[in-house]
């Protein structure tokens, strides 16, 4: 039989994470279980197989989870094996529903039947939990990954929780249709050092399951079925990494500060999302963790973890950081970070029930978290260091009063119980909702430090969804309006002596970070994968000249502005070329 091999094609997308990867395409489409053409008997079998798989997951969870969770897992197992529940779903399938529709319909029926009374609501949540598990077993094609060959996952979009689910060493690259540099899915991909190309429209038209893919995350380019010569060229010129090797090894003579060519010291901290991120704390130039996203480690949990579980995690982080400080951000759920155990009654929107609003509704959740942080600081190997806690999404000064009162209550509670408390507690806030910028004067009196969350600030300022690929490219973070706003925050914080840093992804990009130095920012919290490029940029830059350039760009003086029609991005890029600033 004659075999036709399809030719190589090249797709130009956008770079969402740097690096080169070569592997087999895996088309991931969780919503698409094409079972309409199946017979009811076949659907029934797929459903029962998924139930069986969910039961097996519960059994293996019993081995891994602590004993106090056993009861919950046993309840889940019993519910899954409940023949009446299974039969109801099979009845719906027999009436013509597909599998996902059938399990959703039965769940909806039960929601109405159980009513709102709290005992029955708790039972309903248990059924909802197992429904979710079965859905995952039906849709989570991760289980059929080849566990050996390098895989390049191709998907419409990837949420942070999916990024955590695909925690396999042989996942070497990602291709996505719709995602942006600042979406949480991409932030986690960056932590895992997985090259990503985005902005590929209708990728199913060009890529088939099992196609060989070579992706160049630096250029935002995909080679589908690459020719041998292309692979050889990449092999010899650029590193094709089936599994990414991570950060550069530590050089014992490394300096302890990052100093610009004209002698300005810049403090670099890291954003920590997964435990591997903490490894770079061993590098002397990294001062600590400027943003520890506490919600990420627990994203995969069926239930929000108890105080002891949280205390153990925070204590491990503090011990790993040793003398360096760690800013623990209080729970920031909502938007694209949703939790089964928390979000049952809320719509998943970027501007909805996110952090401080949510906290005011469910203060007990945050109080338990603060309790765990307090205990971790007291019992870790470095109990004399201050505890740094930062609250996200503060929108009104009132909310700052509220979260401070929660911290006070927790400290008082520990004292009343005869427990020790940290020697010092520093309470900070993220500036990431534009309304707070109009209350800066009062707000800065209520905080010990601030960190600018440019990812969210960008979406709220320009009224866009941060994960939307098209919209996030429509506006520029280096536009004069956005930069002017950032300068206002930096100037006011400095004038009040409040330490200010920026922990959004923009500080991890050399051109953007140059502009931030130009508006006077000296503390950056960055993605660990960007340490080298930001360090190189700073060391090869005269800060005064970029400061001069930014003053000109943001000046209201039309005479000064008339000297150039270029955008801030163009002017900073030009300056980098003149100064031979290293941008990678
Ligand atoms: C931000 O919004 O800039 C930020 C750092 O927080 P997150 O990306 O977790 O929302
Ligand atoms: Mg944010």
Write out pLDDT tens, residues 459-469. 999 988 887 77
- Domain hosting 392: range is 294-453
Q: Which amino acid residue places its CA nearest to atom 4 of ligand 1?
A: 453
Atom number, ligand 1, closest to the C-alpha of residue 452: 3
Residue 475: other Cβ atoms inside 10 A: 16
Contact 401, 359 (CB under 8 A): no
Q: Which of 453, 488, 515 is the last residue of a domain?
A: 453
- Cα–Cα distance, 571 to 421 (Å, whole number): 50
pLDDT at residue 342, as a whole number:
53
Residues in the chain with pLDDT values less than 70: 1-5, 30-37, 61, 63-69, 139-147, 167, 238-254, 300-303, 334-360, 557-564
Q: What SS3 class is residue 318?
A: helix
Cβ(456) to ligand 1 under 6 A?
A: yes
pLDDT at residue 239, as a whole number:
58
* Same structural domain, 441 and 481: no
pLDDT at residue 359, as a whole number:
65
Instruction: Looking at the CA of 503, name the nearest ligand.
Output: 1
Q: Which amino acid residue places its CA nearest to atom 8 of ligand 1?
A: 455
Q: Which amino acid residue places its CA nearest to atom 1 of ligand 1?
A: 453
Residue 273 lies in a domain: no
Cβ(455) to ligand 1 under 6 A?
A: yes
Q: Which amino acid residue places its CA nearest to atom 10 of ligand 1?
A: 456
* Same structural domain, 495 and 542: yes
Q: Which residue has the tokens 């951000």?
A: 329
Residue 340 lies in a domain: yes
| Cα→Cα distances 428→66, 436, 438, 498, 500, Å | 34, 14, 18, 10, 10
Residue 274 lies in a domain: no
Cβ(504) to ligand 1 under 6 A?
A: yes
Cβ(335) to ligand 1 under 6 A?
A: no
Q: Which of 385, 286, 370, 357 is nearest to 328 (CA)?
A: 370
Residue 466 lies in a domain: no
Phi, psi for 243 (deg, rounded to 5):
-130, 135
455 CA → ligand 1 middle, Å: 5
| Cα→Cα distances 504→34, 143, 268, 288, 337, Å | 39, 33, 13, 16, 16
* Same structural domain, 321 and 179: no
Cβ(453) to ligand 1 under 6 A?
A: yes
466 CA → ligand 1 middle, Å: 10
* Same structural domain, 66 and 163: yes
* Same structural domain, 422 and 524: no
426 CA → ligand 2 middle, Å: 20
Residue 278 lies in a domain: no
* Same structural domain, 223 and 261: no
pLDDT at residue 534, as a whole number:
96
454 CA → ligand 1 middle, Å: 7
* Same structural domain, 36 and 178: yes
CATH number at residue 145: 3.50.30.10
- How many domains does the chain contain in total? 3
161 CA → ligand 2 middle, Å: 16
* Same structural domain, 315 and 392: yes
Instruction: Looking at the CA of 457, name the nearest ligand.
Output: 1
pLDDT at residue 245, as a whole number:
40
Q: Where are the beta strands (DSSP E) in 480-571?
A: 500-502, 523-526
Instruction: Looking at the CA of 477, name the nearest ligand.
Output: 1
Which one of 191, 430, 489, 502 would you pick to mutate in the ligand 1 pocket, going by the greatest count of ligand atoms within 8 A of its CB? 430
pLDDT at residue 122, as a whole number:
78
* Same structural domain, 44 and 135: yes
Residue 3 lies in a domain: no
Q: Where are the beta strands (DSSP E) in 364-522?
A: 387-391, 425-431, 449-452, 500-502
Cβ(283) to ligand 1 under 6 A?
A: no
Each residue of 119-139: pLDDT tens digit? 787 788 788 878 878 887 776
Whole-structure pTM value? 0.77
* Same structural domain, 52 and 137: yes
pLDDT at residue 569, as a whole number:
94
Residue 581 lies in a domain: yes
The DSSP secondary-structure symbol of 171 reads E
329 CA → ligand 2 middle, Å: 10
pLDDT at residue 170, as a whole number:
84
Residue 488 lies in a domain: yes
* Same structural domain, 377 and 303: yes
The DSSP secondary-structure symbol of 438 reads G
62 CA → ligand 2 middle, Å: 35
- Element containing residue 576 per DSSP (H, E): helix 568-579
CATH number at residue 571: 3.20.20.60
- Cα–Cα distance, 88 to 92 (Å, whole number): 7
* Same structural domain, 389 and 495: no
Side-chain-side CA neighbours of residue 493 (13 Å):
28
pLDDT at residue 347, as a whole number:
47
Q: Which amino acid residue places its CA nearest to atom 3 of ligand 1?
A: 453
């Amino acid at each position: 039989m004659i075999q036709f091999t399809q030719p190589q094609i090249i797709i130009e997308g956008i770079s969402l994470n740097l690096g080169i990867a070569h592997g087999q395409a895996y088309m991931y489409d969780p919503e698409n279980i094409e079972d309409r053409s199946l017979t009811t008997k076949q659907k029934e079998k797929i459903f029962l197989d998924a139930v069986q798989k969910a039961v097996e997951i519960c059994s293996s969870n019993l081995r891994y989870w602590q004993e106090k969770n056993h009861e919950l897992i046993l309840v889940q197992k019993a519910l899954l094996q409940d023949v009446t529940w299974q039969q109801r779903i099979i009845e719906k399938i027999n009436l013509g529903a597909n599998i996902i529709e059938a399990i959703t319909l039965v769940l909806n029926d039960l929601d109405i039947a159980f009513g709102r009374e709290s005992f029955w609501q708790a039972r309903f949540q248990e059924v909802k939990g197992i429904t979710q598990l079965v859905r995952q077993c039906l849709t989570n094609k991760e289980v059929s990954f080849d566990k050996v060959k390098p895989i390049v996952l191709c998907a419409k979009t990837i949420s942070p929780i999916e990024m955590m689910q695909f925690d396999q060493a042989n996942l070497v690259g990602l291709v996505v249709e719709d995602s942006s540099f600042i979406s949480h899915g991409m932030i986690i991909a960056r932590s895992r050092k997985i090259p990503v190309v985005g902005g590929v429209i209708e990728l199913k038209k060009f890529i088939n399951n099992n196609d060989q893919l070579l992706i160049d995350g630096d250029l935002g380019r995909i080679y589908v079925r690459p020719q041998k010569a292309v692979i050889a060229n990449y092999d010899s010129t650029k590193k094709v990494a089936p599994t990414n090797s991570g950060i550069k090894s530590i050089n014992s003579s490394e300096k302890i500060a990052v100093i610009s060519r004209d002698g300005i010291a810049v403090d670099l901290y890291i954003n920590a999302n997964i435990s591997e991120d903490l490894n770079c704390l061993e590098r002397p130039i990294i001062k600590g963790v400027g943003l520890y996203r506490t919600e990420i480690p627990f994203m995969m949990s069926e239930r929000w973890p108890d105080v002891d579980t949280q205390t153990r995690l925070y204590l491990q982080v503090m011990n790993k950081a040793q003398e360096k400080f760690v800013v623990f951000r209080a729970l920031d759920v909502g938007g694209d970070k949703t939790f089964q155990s928390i979000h049952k009654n809320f719509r998943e929107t970027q501007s909805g029930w996110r952090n401080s609003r949510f906290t005011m509704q469910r203060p007990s959740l945050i109080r338990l978290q603060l309790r765990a942080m307090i205990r971790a600081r007291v019992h870790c190997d470095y109990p004399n260091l201050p505890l740094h806690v930062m609250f996200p999404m503060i929108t009104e000064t009132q909310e700052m009063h509220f979260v401070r009162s929660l911290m006070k209550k927790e400290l008082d509670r520990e004292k009343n119980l005869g427990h020790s408390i940290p020697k010092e507690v520093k309470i900070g806030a993220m500036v990431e909702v534009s309304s707070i910028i109009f209350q800066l004067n009062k707000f800065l009196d209520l905080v010990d430090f601030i960190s600018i969350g440019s990812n969210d600030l960008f979406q709220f300022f320009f009224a866009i969804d941060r994960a939307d690929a098209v919209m996030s490219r429509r506006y520029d973070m280096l536009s004069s309006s956005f930069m002017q706003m950032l300068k206002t925050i930096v100037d006011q914080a400095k004038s009040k002596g409040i330490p200010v840093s920026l922990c959004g992804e923009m500080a991890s990009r050399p051109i953007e970070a140059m502009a931030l130095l130009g508006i006077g920012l000296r503390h950056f919290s960055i993605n660990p994968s960007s340490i080298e490029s930001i360090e190189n940029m700073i060391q090869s830059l005269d800060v005064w000249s970029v400061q001069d350039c930014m003053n000109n760009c943001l000046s209201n003086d039309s005479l000064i502005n008339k000297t150039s029609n270029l955008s801030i991005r163009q002017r900073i890029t030009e300056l980098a070329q003149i100064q031979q600033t290293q941008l990678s």
